[in-house]
A and B are shown apart, each in its own frame.
Chain A
């Protein structure tokens, strides 16, 4: 009975967290309900109430660009408004690259004669395939160790034995998911609304140390056996730059909750994969006859270079 009660509490916590996450997926302007891609060259903006036809039909009220290149304006050839005046459809001259998030700026939205301010909208395609592509992207295509060169200190430190490598990878994945979600939450709901963006480095590093300490305490109490196996790696997690890089990337790209979850999970699993590959080779290396000057770190670096070269083969790959 006691076990059941514990499970129930756990389920409750999960439900609360997921409610938070769903609540977090809201667009940026209070008057805009939804933005979406349509066909090959259209973007649909759905408003919360009816907008003025004269404003909505005026092409010069909208500007659109791909997020990575804000200088290249996309040409809008037509704007149409639905019958209830709540849905505006922007028609573009060229086909849109739906793999990139787009930024649409609607200046001085006017509804029933009142001006409601300017809205900067992020348009992304939202479906499971997109999330999956973020996961695979962070895990393999843009592997943090082999293509972004982060977390190398810990990577070379713990990749000597397969068992330690797997232990470290699992611990790291758990901690990075927890800390990245926390930093995402704080960034979106505290730092950004109060314009404290410049504090992000201080806040993120504090949150990371906090979550490492929290995982340490919780694991020690809840599952001492697991703590015995993984506790030693917790100290090392804080020394890894990936764990601070992921919240910074999330803040830069303004990902929403699900995308953040996928990116942090991908980063963790990618680190696990890299550690596992490296440790398997280094275990073999113990038996090899390495020249004395190359023993230890130098040969490990050359090995990592070979891995990085092979991971280069994934670059440019896109899923869906």
Chain B
């Protein structure tokens, strides 16, 4: 892939809509199922992923000319691991409560396929500014996915949004249960598929 010709806005919106890491690329599903019980969790982990993605994208874009193609994957892994360590320590120091809630998942950002994949596909071929905007787009896309799932699960499970009581009762306690994460993500994916199906059908009908 040659260097991108997209504008910054297109790069960001691409990450949020067309290549949404959770719903479209179906990468990094573990956190989407594991800790998406509340909106707050989604936002916190989203911020952590955003930072790691942006920083490591920029780092790789900066040093891309000095990396031998043979050792590029280990280099990516070590870069991500370094930035994850930084984020991990910062969160543990300044937001101990949220850090405890997310548990091991902050450290596991290092194994998220989405970050490595973005470095391999985008950052190692593009300039620093476009890598920066691509990282922002991907991070925001991930955060958006987490927040949507968290919204549904928190509303249906606890009847609250961001801790504020909205409904006044608990419709389906089942959705707070960890197992419901699978159902939630599965059904949402099916909904996205359905929308795509309807959209394509309309498009075809128009063409005719």
Contact = CB atoms under 8 A, between A and B. Distances in A.
A148 B182 CA distance: 12
A153 B180 CA distance: 18
Name the residue in B34, B89, B182 with the highest tally of chain A Cβ atoms < 10 Å from its Cβ: B182
B183 interface: yes
A150 B179 contact: no
Contacts of B186: 294, 297-302, 304-305
B30 A151 contact: yes
A312 B179 contact: yes
Contacts of B77: 205-206, 209
A297 B32 CA distance: 14
Interface residues of B, number: 39
B193 A293 contact: yes
Interface stretch (A61-69, A128-136, A172-180, A243-251): A243-251
Interface string B179-193: 111110111011101
Interface residues of A, number: 40
Contacts of A186: none
B39 interface: no
Contact of B111 (A240, A249, A304): A240
Given A199-B85, A209-B74, A209-B77, A152 B110 contact: no
B199 interface: no
A300 B183 CA distance: 10
A198 interface: yes
A232 interface: no
A23 to B, nearest CB: 29
B197 A293 contact: yes
A201 B189 contact: no
Interface stretch (B9-17, B21-29, B164-172): B21-29
Interface in A234-283: 239-241, 243-245, 248-249, 252
B82 interface: yes
B173 interface: no
Contacts of A294: 186, 190, 193
A189 interface: no
B19 interface: no
A147 B177 CA distance: 10
21 contacts: A148-B34, A149-B33, A150-B30, A153-B27, A156-B29, A198-B85, A201-B88, A206-B81, A241-B30, A241-B108, A241-B111, A244-B108, A244-B110, A293-B194, A293-B197, A294-B186, A297-B26, A298-B187, A302-B187, A309-B179, A311-B179
